[in-house]
Structure 1
């Protein structure tokens, strides 16, 4: 009992409890989504297209072109897990995890490093360009009602 009281009185306990409350709030906010099927569908599509981007990038390099969709899924999952790290844009952890996954499939570490660097850069450039285009399109899409 004394240990339990000590744990509950600790600062770490309150921080973890606060994170849990926010996490739960986030999941419960799904109740307020107006069109749940569209939300779920778009969420799935986002991950499908991210996976396809990873898989299609395999064909851009001779040393990864022979890899299967399962290998792409593995690399995608490793990269996704790396994005959880509290690092801006996943720079570092994403590369490390992608390299580890590719090496597990027989790609040399130097080739895997090149793949990770080029693919991460290309994906980020695409996100920046499409984001800027979307920003420029906003005035046309969100015209005030007349």
Structure 2
């Protein structure tokens, strides 16, 4: 595909081209805002660093059955459905670092966002959930 064909496509399909440009801009703005607001999920190595240096509280938002099978050492089990009501069980200190995780990383960002709305400004989600944690060779326990 040469430059003339690209120009011809843009001229002949302005709505498609405009839609693509708008979608890319929206994606870039969304990612930028997530990064600025601290909403971007953190990888396992960053979570370990926060656990070791900032005494982060780790919160498992999965079901009780999944938690019993395996979880990150010293994690508190607070299912997503009750995260707002049980926030004080996680930490009374709203400045404390909190790392939420789920199975594959799709629920924990919502839990971290709810905690941030309650004033926990340092709430993060674990990127990829416990599956990514284990894939990175990080330890879990069933006790």
Larger RCO of the pair (alpha carbons < 8 Å, separation 6+)? 2
The normalised TM-score by structure 1 is 0.26
The normalised TM-score by structure 2 is 0.27
Q: Which has the higher strand share?
A: 2
Q: Which has the higher helix share?
A: 1
